[in-house]
Chain A
């Protein structure tokens, strides 16, 4: 009973602490200008507390962690992907409108007008900057210059720093001989990172080896969505269709912001010929790849299952274990092993082919051979799964069927086509569809073996002849230049629908099977 008492005693303090932590997090998300996310987090946490504190939702206590995980990391990403597909989210349009505007307004440039001459003075181990208005070689008496001079506290150079200046006279610092120009040049980068704040609040930044100049905001806000470039007076307006601030001539400011572009990404797949060409070829190859993989693994797998089911054959367990090996070796290792073995110049496979036939095929450079290689490797990887499934299904076929056929004098091939095949094809179909869907999205194989290469020439978006849709999407989103998340998400959405259709067909077939049993 002691444990229960402790549980009761700790329940409320524990709940309070957790609740406070959650509320603090929600508040931080809200304070950073993301009210919708804050609301979503509040909803999730609130649901959690309701589930664990209320007696109404008793059964959900067991389900909450798993379901919350699936909601946040499986279901939500699906919906979010679809949503991103309708935006121009990319490396050039990474920020929201508010944050992009704020970023542009924060930009400063050293303005024209009166600069401050400066000199570097050693102060113990550290340095001080002494600034005086006007150039150092102005004809001004050193005494009056010293009166109006400002000085920084002792500082260590390096990294971006914001430093307050104080009048030299009040600081009690007696500047000696300044450091030579060489020392200034050497510290140029560190000096350029400094932002010096005058007593009146204006800021100075490094403007040359002798001068710090006042900072001017690069842009000023004229009206909502209108920015004026201070130096030139050019007006930039926020374009809600392209996601950039643009001037009359179409000049764009970086960074752009995220906007919804409706069906833009989808239209691009259909209308833009330079994009449509590779897209269609990749789509066709994806289907061919998945279909042929299923076909080849099915052929090898069933043959082996039938042969290994032949009771007159000895050493069947040994054979089966050895043939199961490709399934047991982790995929990322065996795929990379094949990548090395197929290497054109020092791969073992070309070594053997060269000795036997005197040929050295360019497995990675020739698009057709690369596809052949991918299919060979994937058949190697995939047949044990089909073999295991078929072995189970064949065991379930009643033996008297074969006895009857033997009396009729049937040959093994007749047995296979008339008895075995028709009986295993029904339960096997949903599994084959699942295997097709898996290979349709077999990203790891392509990414590790060829990475989509060899590439198409002259395409706008990098695309390879061996890319399947998912690896293509990955490349658009995470590799090469551009990082076009919106386009990648749109392609993902299309694949979602294809997978969903396959899954529906699969469930229907599985149901039909179940009813027959």
Chain B
């Protein structure tokens, strides 16, 4: 930009740097603090940000290994963190895969096929998606209780039930994928159809390979969404070995039982991979957010 630089420019630059650095300190402090706390011995000890003595006791407990305390007693892990992590990854992985599958086919129909009530369905999907699931928790609980009394493996306290509940919320992903399909020229598939391909073949062998990037984005978004989902998981899953990380992590910080250090290790262990995935996929996620959010 060809803005004429005044005398105050250097001072303003310096000010901006100081402002940003101060803000970054505030932003990063909690994250660094939690790493440091996980390495400090004891559950209540407070200390400097850089720990004086490093102890891996919390990490051992988080990984499910009992450790020997200073007085010789064996401390057992308070919670099955790895089990929770596995539950989260399993539920999120399966539901993200299924969400991609059903949203892609639905998006194909909306982008390429002609049928009745198309715009009405699309618009009502967008409207429905604006009501958060938290509000319908009572009904969701009642529905799964009813389902469970006929099909036990889909009821309350089952992972399959939770996955099915997550599948219901695929509308935003349908919109995102449809937006991407709209950018791919129809002519390519029409060529395939002239060569004798069916609808399904044109979709499966022509359109789908070209849409892989957006499918990856939707998979990551759905995966992270399911990992961090709390309300529905908290009412459908109650038994300790069955919980997901989002629900289980809470149990570390009860008034009567404040396992601050153990929580810190579990938090870093489970939060780091998701954070890295998010940062890695940042660019696409931001574009996905803006594409699906307002316009279609």
Contacts and interface: CB of A to CB of B under 8 A. Distances in A.
A375 interface: no
A431 B164 contact: no
A202 interface: no
Contact of B249 (A37, A65, A336, A447): A336
Contacts of A326: 27
B105 A495 contact: no
B279 A470 contact: no
17 contacts: A25-B151, A63-B110, A74-B128, A77-B140, A80-B143, A300-B23, A307-B16, A307-B19, A312-B5, A319-B24, A328-B275, A331-B228, A336-B267, A431-B294, A485-B142, A492-B136, A514-B295
A372 B111 CA distance: 47
A74 B169 contact: yes
A477 interface: yes
A330 B228 contact: yes
B227 A473 contact: no
Interface in B1-53: 1-5, 9, 12-13, 16-17, 19-20, 23-24, 26-28, 30-31, 33-34, 37, 44-46
Q: Classify the secondary structure of B's interface with A.
A: helix
A73 B13 contact: no
A120 interface: no
A25 B258 CA distance: 47
Q: Classify the secondary structure of A's interface with B.
A: helix
A332 B244 CA distance: 11
Count class of interface residues, chain B? 35 or more
Interface string A322-350: 11111111111110111111010011100
A313 to B, nearest CB: 6
B143 A304 contact: no
B270 interface: yes
B194 interface: no
B174 A333 contact: no
A380 B27 CA distance: 7
A506 B228 CA distance: 26
Count class of interface residues, chain A? 35 or more
A62 B170 contact: no
Interface stretch (B71-79, B113-121, B184-192, B209-217): B113-121
A424 interface: no
Contact of A66 (B2, B106, B131): B106
A76 to B, nearest CB: 7
A63 B118 CA distance: 11
Given A74-B128, A300-B23, A340-B263, 18 more contacts: A62-B109, A70-B169, A74-B133, A77-B136, A78-B139, A308-B20, A327-B278, A332-B228, A334-B271, A336-B267, A340-B37, A346-B260, A403-B2, A443-B134, A447-B234, A492-B136, A499-B130, A510-B295
A337 B231 contact: no
B263 A336 contact: yes
